[in-house]
């Protein structure tokens, strides 16, 4: 990631003031109470593997204990870090955001703040930080999360289809790495919402869409509502595609465009070729920690389809990863 001579340079050891009151550094400045106090630091966001603050009485800390890995979910902290920084600066304080090297984790948190406060793209925010701190380089997973953050209008919520797809890819990655899923986030059961007005997943901040207004997919046999339409995932017939696209760092996979093109262009064609609906994992599906399993109706127990976190091939030839498929003959749209 960075070379030793660069790491030894003064810029890298020091901290940089990115915008008035917001500083960025590696671990070194954070180890000296005097250094920080002389520069007026009052608040610290520590994004490291360490779970305790170093000078608990001297500064107000926010600890985010996460590893610097592509798979780490950092975007879920962006709302909190934004508020922490914003409130500290508003009160006349100064905030230091640091990790170990001051290259990936802390830079990601700072970029997220810049994006939201200055309405910058992920690339623009990173350029601004790199101008001050050349080794700034979020890992590929964090960079994708910053891009996603912009795509969802800084609204990190499961109401956002794109965010749910990101969580789905993230769960598949956890399944692959650990053999189980640490953070399970599932699409809500439309049955639970029938008594209320709308489901959480269909009350999208983007406003009503055809997918939202459509009645949920139902079990053909017993008519139980199974899944909302905005949790149905479209793919290009015959091509490899799926939520794992989030794992590729590629501008062509700009996710909001992908979602839109899926719905507007692919659905009519796919309907004629594909024999299954691919969906997000929903609350009522059983034994989701396993690599693969059956999807059975939660009311009448008739077999609807299968899931596999490593993916499945659709009848059209496309690989969908991860895959939760329900046979079109078993459900009514």
Is the Cβ of residue 27 or residue 236 nearer to Zn ion in the bound state? 236
C-alpha neighbours within 13 Å on the C-beta side of residue 108: 34
- Cβ–Cβ under 8 Å, residues 242 and 235: yes
* Distance in angstroms (rounded) separating the CA atoms of residues 132 and 112: 16
Judged by CB under 5 A, the chain residues 275 through 304 that form the site for Zn ion are: 297, 299-300
Is the Cβ of residue 173 or residue 274 nearer to Zn ion in the bound state? 274
Using rule CB under 5 A, residue 50 touches Zn ion: no
* Distance in angstroms (rounded) separating the CA atoms of residues 190 and 198: 9
Known active-site residue 297: no
Contacts for 208 with CB less than 8 Å, ≥ 6 apart: none
β partners of residue 187: 282
Residue with tokens 């839109």: 260
> Among 221, 289, 294, 328, which residue sits at the site for Zn ion (rule: CB under 5 A)?
221
- Which listed range, 35-43, 99-107, 185-193, 232-240, lies at the site for Zn ion (CB under 5 A)? 232-240
Using rule CB under 5 A, residue 131 touches Zn ion: no
Using rule CB under 5 A, residue 99 touches Zn ion: no
> Among 99, 316, 326, 331, which residue sits at the site for Zn ion (rule: CB under 5 A)?
316
Using rule CB under 5 A, residue 45 touches Zn ion: no
- Which listed range, 47-55, 168-176, 177-185, 213-221, lies at the site for Zn ion (CB under 5 A)? 213-221
Shortest Å, Cβ 275 to Zn ion = 8
Is the Cβ of residue 21 or residue 237 nearer to Zn ion in the bound state? 237
Using rule CB under 5 A, residue 112 touches Zn ion: no
Shortest Å, Cβ 191 to Zn ion = 11
Shortest Å, Cβ 324 to Zn ion = 14
Using rule CB under 5 A, residue 114 touches Zn ion: no
* Distance in angstroms (rounded) separating the CA atoms of residues 167 and 180: 14
Shortest Å, Cβ 210 to Zn ion = 20
- How deeply is 34 buried, as exposed, middle or buried, from its count of CB atoms within 10 A (0-12, 13-18, 19+)? exposed
Is the Cβ of residue 127 or residue 275 nearer to Zn ion in the bound state? 275
Judged by CB under 5 A, the chain residues 239 through 278 that form the site for Zn ion are: 274
- How deeply is 318 buried, as exposed, middle or buried, from its count of CB atoms within 10 A (0-12, 13-18, 19+)? buried
Is the Cβ of residue 182 or residue 269 nearer to Zn ion in the bound state? 269
Shortest Å, Cβ 298 to Zn ion = 8
Is the Cβ of residue 84 or residue 307 nearer to Zn ion in the bound state? 307
- For the record, the structure tokens of 104 come out as 């990936």
Using rule CB under 5 A, residue 214 touches Zn ion: no
Using rule CB under 5 A, residue 226 touches Zn ion: no
Residue with tokens 């948190």: 109
Where helices occur in the chain by DSSP H, the ranges are 4-8, 10-13, 27-30, 33-38, 78-90, 105-118, 122-132, 140-151, 161-178, 190-193, 210-213, 255-261, 267-273
Is the Cβ of residue 11 or residue 222 nearer to Zn ion in the bound state? 222
* Distance in angstroms (rounded) separating the CA atoms of residues 16 and 22: 8
Using rule CB under 5 A, residue 318 touches Zn ion: yes
Residue with tokens 């703040």: 113
Q: Which residues in this chain contact Zn ion in the complex, by CB under 5 A?
A: 219, 221-222, 224, 237, 274, 297, 299-300, 314, 316, 318
Tell me the catalytic residues. 99
């Amino acid at each position: 990631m960075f070379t030793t001579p660069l790491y030894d340079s003064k810029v890298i050891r020091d901290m940089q003031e990115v915008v008035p009151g917001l500083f960025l550094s590696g671990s070194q400045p954070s180890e000296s109470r005097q250094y920080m106090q002389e520069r007026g630091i009052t608040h610290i966001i520590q994004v490291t593997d360490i779970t305790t603050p170093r000078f608990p009485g001297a500064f107000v800390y926010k600890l985010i204990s996460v590893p610097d890995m592509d798979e780490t979910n950092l975007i879920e902290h962006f709302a909190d870090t934004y508020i922490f920084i914003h409130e500290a600066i508003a009160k006349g304080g100064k905030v230091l955001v640091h990790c170990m090297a001051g290259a990936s984790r802390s830079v990601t948190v700072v970029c997220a703040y810049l994006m939201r406060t200055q309405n910058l793209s992920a690339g623009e925010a990173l350029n601004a930080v790199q101008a001050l701190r050349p080794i700034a380089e979020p890992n590929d997973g964090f960079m994708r999360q910053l891009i996603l953050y912009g795509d969802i209008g800084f609204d990190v919520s499961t109401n956002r289809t794109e965010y749910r797809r990101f969580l789905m890819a993230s769960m598949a990655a956890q399944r692959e790495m650990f053999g189980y899923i640490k953070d399970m986030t599932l699409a809500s059961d439309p049955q639970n919402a029938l008594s209320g007005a709308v489901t959480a997943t269909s009350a999208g901040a983007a406003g009503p869409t055809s997918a939202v207004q459509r009645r949920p997919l139902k079990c053909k046999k017993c008519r139980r509502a199974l899944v909302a339409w905005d949790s149905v995932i479209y793919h290009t017939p015959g091509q490899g595609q799926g939520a794992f696209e989030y794992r590729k760092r590629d501008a062509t996979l700009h996710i909001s465009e992908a979602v839109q093109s899926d719905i507007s262009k692919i659905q009519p064609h796919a309907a004629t070729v594909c024999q299954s609906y691919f969906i997000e994992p929903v609350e009522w599906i059983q034994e989701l920690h396993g690599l693969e399993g059956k999807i059975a109706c939660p009311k009448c127990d008739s077999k609807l389809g299968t899931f596999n976190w490593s993916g499945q091939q659709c009848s059209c030839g496309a690989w969908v990863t991860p895959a939760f498929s329900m046979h079109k003959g078993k459900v009514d749209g």
